[in-house]
Amino acid sequence: MMDSPTVVQTGLNAMLKGVPSVVPGLLNKVSVFSLRLMSRSMATAVAYLTMRSEGTAK
């Protein structure tokens, strides 16, 4: 996982260059791309399971 200052710096750099959207990190880019290959119902189910497991993992 990327640390907050790195994510902020990446976002600010993109904003100053006029880039409308930026996805920092390889794993995040792969995740965003894989959403294009899934149906909406499958993407919703994956998001639900991911968020549920993150909340209960601690």
Determine, yes or no, domain membership for 48. yes
- The band of 1, judged by pLDDT with boundaries at 50, 70 and 90, is confident
Q: Is residue 28 part of a domain?
A: yes
Is residue 52 assigned to a domain?
Answer: yes
Residue 58, pLDDT > 80, answer no
pLDDT of residue 31: 87
Its domain, for residue 56, covers 23-58
The residues, any chain, with a CB within 8 Å of residue 25's CB and separated by 6 or more, are 2
Distance CA 10, CA 57 (A): 28
The pLDDT of residue 54 = 62
Domain count, the chain: 1
Q: Which residues contact 10 (CB under 8 A, 6 or more apart)?
A: 22, 24
Q: Residue 31: inside a domain, yes or no?
A: yes
Residue 56 lies in a domain: yes
pLDDT in tens, 6-55: 989 999 999 999 999 999 888 889 988 998 999 999 999 988 988 886 65
pLDDT for the residue numbered 27 = 86
